[in-house]
Structure 1
Amino acid sequence: MKANVIVHRDFRVASIDSRLYSSFLEHLGRAIYGGIYEPEHPTADENGFRRDVIDLVRELNSPYCRYPGGNFVSAYNWEDGVGPRSERPVRLDLAWRTRESNQIGVNEFVDWCKKANTKPMLAVNLGSRGLDAARNFLEYCNHPAGTYWSDLRRKHGWTNPHDVKLWCLGNEMDGPWQVGHKSAYEYGRLADETAKAMRGFDKSLELVVCGSSHSDMKTYPDWEAEVLEQCYDSADHISLHMYFANREKNTLNYLARTTKLDRYITTIGGVIDYVKAKKRSKKTIGISFDEWNVWYHSNQQDKEILARDEWPDAPHLLEDVYNFEDVLQVGGILNTFIRRSDRVRIACIAQLVNVIAPIMTEDGGPAWRQTIYYPLYFASKYGRGSALQLITDGPTYDCDEANDVPYLDASAVLSDDGKTLTFFAVNRHTERALDFDARLEGFANARIIEQVEMTNGDLQAVNTATRPETVIPISVETAKIEDGRLRAALKPLSYSVIRLSV
């Protein structure tokens, strides 16, 4: 079984925005408390942040981290998380039916970002609150001194402004589950006025408005058209969210769901172009895919926790334990973002620690890499530069999700210095190897630097605290370059990274 690929140095999709490999932390479950923050942990630093978690986050080189939500932000008072910790109120979080201690707020989060080598992407509450709270939050974070809010930050111990440049205007406001849910017109008007007020403070801010929570929403894609009709001139990006599941236990159908992701991006790209034309605008709105991941393993456990008549502190919510099959899915999702980097400028894996996350921890115990950590790591490390157009010709299959789904899911990235070409490839076939045959145009004297492979005979294999290396990448040397072609045998149900010096 053979898949032919043609790649040319000059045929480029786009320059990849490094923010494609960003992340997300919400005040949900053990993402914050027991995730990044655990003062009693043996590795905790002077601020209570787990150093072992910071080390794993730094390896991912995540450019931005979205915070504090998520559904949580739609009823969040940012003022609750600043000032002396002993004076911060304990609140009930309506989104996840838990108690919020507010021991971590924006100042501590910004400090954590510096330690973790990332930058904050902050969200404002446009559910239960609005324009006034947003502009005050911005002034508190970014103004140097001499005003009520900036001086309050200085009084709290943070003399220098945080200089946060990337802001989300609410979260999933199309969703009826959201506190303060609005119609597209209501939200679009509020987002526009909020954006104008924030730009009155700083014209250089980048602002993300809410698109559809997922592509099965009844209001999709009319929501995007109406929202952008109201705030196209004041926005920079529109957010999309998508989660992936294999509840029916059908691997081929599961792995084909990236075709739905591609259609989602294509559709909203068309909506953006439509509104741009209607507005006679020179600006093209980008897509911020600021929530994406596999999410279904913990659903039953979550139902049982949320059904209890109590308001727990940092319960074990949304703690999906990822298996090897999920490696293939996440690899395919990242390939899709690379191939559509002409549209998708920002993407945030949801989330970063414990809550549907590539990093898992035990309270008082170890932190380890879940299976999906690795494709994110490789994409972040080697997927920066220019996405190249691939012409592929290979076998396909039909399934419930789509027809003519290629067994080969691949992307290619040329580094910014033009010296390294990296292929990311998933073989979706459950039984047969795939002969990958790539014709290298414009890449004379190419040679193989490295070939990394992830396979496992058990699709359900997982990494745990006691067995953290059950599913890991290994180095192999089966690929060859002959007569200007890269040839490699991709094992059934495998994820591969092949790097060439060009």
Structure 2
Amino acid sequence: MLKAEVLIDRDFAVGATDPRLFGAFVEHLGRCVYGGLFEPGHPEADERGFRRDVMALVKELAPTIMRYPGGNFVSGYNWEDGVGPVENRPRRLDLAWFSTEPNTFGTNEFIDWCREAGIEPMLAVNLGTRGADAARHYLEYCNHPSGTALSDLRRSHGWEQPHDVKFWCLGNEMDGPWQMERKTATEYARIATETAKMMKWTDKTVELAVCGSSARNMPTFGEWEYTVLDHTFDHVEFISLHTYFNNYAHDTAAFLASPDLMDSFIDEVVAIADAVAAKRRSSKRIMLSFDEWNVWYRTRGKGEGRAKPGWPEAPQILEEIYTMEDALTFGGACISLLNHADRVKSACLAQLVNAIAPIMTETGGPAWRQTIFHPFAQMSNLGRGNVLRSKVNSPTYSARYYDPRGAEELYYPMPEVPYVKVASVHNEDDKTLTLFVLNRHLDESITLDLDARGFNDLTLDHALELRHDDLQITNTKDAPDTVSPVALDGVQVQGGRVQATLAPASWNVIRLKTQN
């Protein structure tokens, strides 16, 4: 049997996981809002129209921060359309998803939903069709206590207390040709700088994220980040990253290897941000907000998978049905995020319900967990604490990952991909050590032999594996638990050593208790 040796040390940590690392994303896209988390008249809806069955699954998933209202949608969004009496709100054509937006769910409803779910709200401002003036007015409406036209307008709408939203995104993917009023790096950097200044003059307590490249494969990646941060460095705390994993090439081994490119992406953006800091001889460090990430490719092309004719309301689009294979790649991305906890301080799974989401619903019917639900819920619920540096000695394999870029075909050679990918999280408060382990070998089990130095008194709390013989199996409305965690048997713990047998193509979580 193949063997992977892992060494961790209690005193050698990457960094502490920020609570915002475990976030998600709600956009006015397809059935994410309407027919997803918000469906007045549904048997499970409360008096505000919030689906209680969806809310229960969200609380189980345990996201900590929620990005809203977009995404591409925000680049054409007038925030004023979504506040005030519902009967007076305008219906608009949404050019992001070629839908009709009824605006019956807006900022105040979103804030109420977040409060009900126990989630921090993250808001994005429109720097596509609008600019700094609308952004600072939006902030004033949300955060100023009272005594001004906009704060008193909020109070007249029924929200007496300020929303106190602390995290704001300065636009979305402004380098993308699909974006409304796309900008060059310099054009975006200038408007982002002025917007940041005015927003912080309005509320000095807010934290701001500036747009990075829409993806690592954008032609201007790197140059975009440097230019934008060179302008905005003194005014923002975060730069955003977006990535979506695909298996267009129908190469499972390469697909499971692709989260390692997420590690490279993070390292490159950190280097660029620190180069801007070095130019200024500044000790300030820009943190990373990975505010869009997921597996997404089956519904990503043009046509009715992405948009439907006739400007429908809440169309059934981008409803990616996730497989066991997808859950494995997704788990690898969870490990990548954890292992960069020193600089990735915020992240948002895109999205939450129905559209490329861990939760699926039937309009008027039930809600259920997709396969990717489980790795995220385990990461969020069990991944709080200090991430320890993991030295992994694992057998490796070669892969060639395909990533489309316009009409070009772009392949990333990956010559040495370790079959075993690991993240280790030590929580001193609840005296736990949690191991998140992915076995990417498609045919063979691998013995994990982990030496946890500084932990001489470990005991097993529980161990779970997520796997299925059929990597293309999915969870459905009629069989919602086909892919679910089950007990991982045979885990042996003695002192500070842990041994386990990892099944082929499996995601594993081993929770250990410490005595000190």
User: Which category of TM-score, normalised to the shorter sequence, fits these structures?
Assistant: over 0.9
- Superposed, which structure 2 residues align to 1:18-97 within 5 Å? 18-97=19-98
Could you say if the C-alpha distance between residues 186 and 254 of structure 1 is closer, same or farther in structure 2, counting changes exceeding 3 Å?
Answer: same
Q: Deviations over 1:194-237 (max 9, x none)?
A: 11111112222110000000000000010000000000010100
- The alpha carbon displacement at 1:438 in A equals 0.4
Residue ranges of structure 2 left out of the alignment (5+ in a row): 402-413
Aligned equivalents of 2:308, 2:356: Cα separation in 1 = 21
- The alpha carbon displacement at 1:476 in A equals 2.8
Q: 2:491 aligns with which of 461, 479, 486?
A: 479
- The alpha carbon displacement at 1:248 in A equals 1.6
TM-score by length of 2: 0.96
- Superposed, which structure 2 residues align to 1:455-494 within 5 Å? 455-482=467-494, 484-494=496-506
TM-score by length of 1: 0.98
Alignment match, 2:242: 241
Aligned residue type for 2:395? P
Residue ranges of structure 1 left out of the alignment (5+ in a row): none
Classify the secondary structure of the residue corresponding to 2:509. strand
- The alpha carbon displacement at 1:304 in A equals 2.2
- Superposed, which structure 2 residues align to 1:332-481 within 5 Å? 332-401=332-401, 402-417=414-429, 419-481=431-493
Aligned residue type for 1:466? D
Q: Which runs of 4+ in 1 moved over 2 A?
A: 297-300, 304-309
Q: Considering only aligned residues, what root-mean-square deviation do their CA atoms show, in Å? A: 1.1
Q: Deviations over 1:45-68 (max 9, x none)?
A: 000110000111111221110000
Task: Tell me if structure 2 keeps the 8 A contact 1:408–1:428.
Answer: yes
Aligned equivalents of 1:258, 1:134: Cα separation in 2 = 35
- Superposed, which structure 2 residues align to 1:287-306 within 5 Å? 287-299=288-300, 303-304=303-304
Give yes or no for the alignment of 1:133 onto 2:145.
no
- The alpha carbon displacement at 1:298 in A equals 2.4
Alignment match, 2:410: none
Alignment match, 1:168: 169
Alignment match, 2:407: none
Could you say if the C-alpha distance between residues 483 and 49 of structure 1 is closer, same or farther in structure 2, counting changes exceeding 3 Å?
Answer: closer
Q: Deviations over 1:180-199 (max 9, x none)?
A: 11111111111111111111
Task: Tell me if structure 1 keeps the 8 A contact 2:145–2:151.
Answer: yes
Alignment match, 2:405: none
Aligned equivalents of 1:306, 1:68: Cα separation in 2 = 18
Alignment match, 1:201: 202
Classify the secondary structure of the residue corresponding to 1:411. strand
Q: Deviations over 1:297-328 (max 9, x none)?
A: 2236x622556541011001110010101111
Aligned residue type for 2:450? A
Give yes or no for the alignment of 1:499 onto 2:511.
yes
Task: Tell me if structure 2 keeps the 8 A contact 1:384–1:416.
Answer: no
Aligned residue type for 1:314? A
Aligned equivalents of 2:442, 2:165: Cα separation in 1 = 46
Q: Deviations over 1:135-189 (max 9, x none)?
A: 1000000111110001111111111110000000000011111101111111111
The number of residues matched between the two structures is: 501
Aligned equivalents of 2:493, 2:397: Cα separation in 1 = 29
- Superposed, which structure 2 residues align to 1:199-348 within 5 Å? 199-299=200-300, 303-304=303-304, 308-348=308-348
Q: Deviations over 1:447-480 (max 9, x none)?
A: 1110001110000110111110110001233110
- The alpha carbon displacement at 1:18 in A equals 1.4
Q: Deviations over 1:19-76 (max 9, x none)?
A: 1110000000000000011001001000011000011111122111000000000010
Alignment match, 1:104: 105
Aligned residue type for 1:469? D
Aligned equivalents of 2:168, 2:307: Cα separation in 1 = 33
